[in-house]
Structure 1
């Protein structure tokens, strides 16, 4: 993929039938490149594919259980942000950005920032006042989020096993919307 002709971010209201496969492909590309997807390079494709299907089901549900913002290039996803509003009454003012993914070939071009900004704006439109997200150490993501107004609110040392000999910290970030 190249930078030219990238559309979005766009909110998905009516998922296209090919969207689960497109999500699976993007999760796979980011995972293989070492991205913080929650999967490892040895994760079975069926597991990643099942997640793509669940995300689309939740986007299509009424009421929506997840909100999806996408950026595309030709017939491939260049990036996605997945926003999940809280469901319990005492948490109704909160939401979580579950995933923020950008195709590895398109990183460092501002797409992640654009998706994150769009997700924050969409959360605000939904009446969400506080957002959270988690990520892992070792990839410079802490600085990415801090520069965009997020505050590190917790860290669990060596709690993520990326590979047999590679343990990373899980980090929690929060932001008022």
Structure 2
């Protein structure tokens, strides 16, 4: 895994239109760092690296095919944070999108980078003509409070829907906001 300098210079957010050849590895590496720190990016600390790489490959393909819009922050050629926006595909939902993922390296959390990525997603959503966005996260680390401070509204919970580990079961939390 790659180290981030907590005092180093960070650039971004940047919109990725053409994925770099090393993006799959950088995504898997970032997801690994976030997961080990307890972050909610869809994996558990015991998931093998191959699963993270496979998910990263799918995301990169979605970016290439314009099914996903990727925004990044970085430090010295190291991926330090990402946000993923997806437009809904059904005709009756084309005015909506999903903030599918927002993650910042644990070393840089609490420094405003998540908020900057979030705000860049809203700009991208507006540029796409989206009017509303939604997201799903898990309880347990106060992530829903972060989004509520940014104007999101909790719309529901599914108790026990996320199993991080045998003794670690969390709620899935749905939030929405207007663009």
Shorter-chain TM-score: which interval?
over 0.9
Match of residue 72 from structure 1: 74
2:35 to 13, 21, 31: 31
Distance across 2 between alignment mates of 1:108 and 1:119: 18
Match of residue 113 from structure 1: 115
Other structure's SS at 2:121 match: helix
Distance across 1 between alignment mates of 2:139 and 2:106: 18
1:124 to 106, 121, 126: 126
Distance across 2 between alignment mates of 1:137 and 1:172: 10
Distance across 2 between alignment mates of 1:144 and 1:119: 15
Match of residue 164 from structure 1: 166
Runs of 4+ in 1 over 6 A off after TM superposition: none
Q: Offset at 1:29?
A: 0.6
Q: Offset at 1:138?
A: 1.0
Matches within 5 A, 1:67-106: 67-106=69-108
Deviations 1:69-105 (A, max 9, x none): 0000002111000111111111100110111000011
Q: Offset at 1:67?
A: 0.3
Q: Offset at 1:163?
A: 1.0
Deviations 1:110-132 (A, max 9, x none): 00000001001100110011100
Report how many aligned residue pairs link the two structures. Answer: 175
Match of residue 46 from structure 1: 50
Distance across 2 between alignment mates of 1:3 and 1:155: 37
Distance across 2 between alignment mates of 1:106 and 1:3: 9
TM-score w.r.t. the length of structure 2 is 0.96
**In the alignment, is residue 21 of structure 1 matched against residue 21 of structure 2?**
no
Match of residue 142 from structure 2: 140
Match of residue 9 from structure 1: 13
Gaps of 5+ in 1: none
1:57 to 61, 69, 78: 61
Distance across 1 between alignment mates of 2:72 and 2:164: 26
